[in-house]
Amino acid sequence: MTLDQDDINLFREQIKGTKKLRQDTYIAPRIKNKRKQAYNELVQQQDNLFYFSDQYEPLLQEDQKVRYLREGEDSHLLKQLRRGDFEPELFLDLHGLTREQAKSELAVLLHACEKENVHCAGIMTGYGTFALKLQIPRWLVQHPKVRALHQAPKEWGGDAAFLILFETVE
């Protein structure tokens, strides 16, 4: 589309006496690199998976209720977990998953706990073949930010679940 000479003259007449603005203060907003952010999250998940060795055998009493307390933590934490004093902020249900899928989901849960500053989380293993129920505590005790774990009280899953306390940034 071309403008007529009359339109151009009319425009110039209307803007006569105005000053041209100089636009030099605009700073374009930085666009976050979504690929880099996704990569960083993937690296964090892989770091979490690194902690989960299938060969490691911690000293857990499996004839009683499964429990673990990180060295240097107050022993009263286990009693509080057993009583249900801590309410899980996140809950992970592992029903029907294979060991590898469960390991990956557990890594995602721990990453979410760290990212969202979650203090207590619940993990539902179910009864089934007891494969996950036996393996989950072995993986959890390997993670440096897991402070304690205990078999969940009835209101949070009982014998088929665990509650974990996660180290948070205060």
Sheet hosting strand 90-93, strand order edge to edge:
67-69, 146-151, 161-166, 120-124, 90-93
C-alpha closest to that of 142 among 68, 81, 92, 87: 68
**Poorest-pLDDT segment among 47-56, 112-121, 125-134:** 47-56
Q: Give the span between the Cα atoms of 52 and 146, in whole angstroms.
A: 12
pTM over 0.85, yes/no: no
Q: Are strands 120-124 and 90-93 parallel, antiparallel or unpaired?
A: parallel
Which pLDDT value is given to residue 60?
57
pLDDT in tens, 14-54: 988 888 877 777 777 766 666 666 666 666 655 555 566 55
- pLDDT exceeds 70 at position 55: no
Protein fold of 66-166 = Ribosomal Protein S8; Chain: A, domain 1 (3.30.1370)
Structure tokens at 85: 């004093």
- pLDDT exceeds 70 at position 63: no
Q: Give the span between the Cα atoms of 85 and 123, in whole angstroms.
A: 16
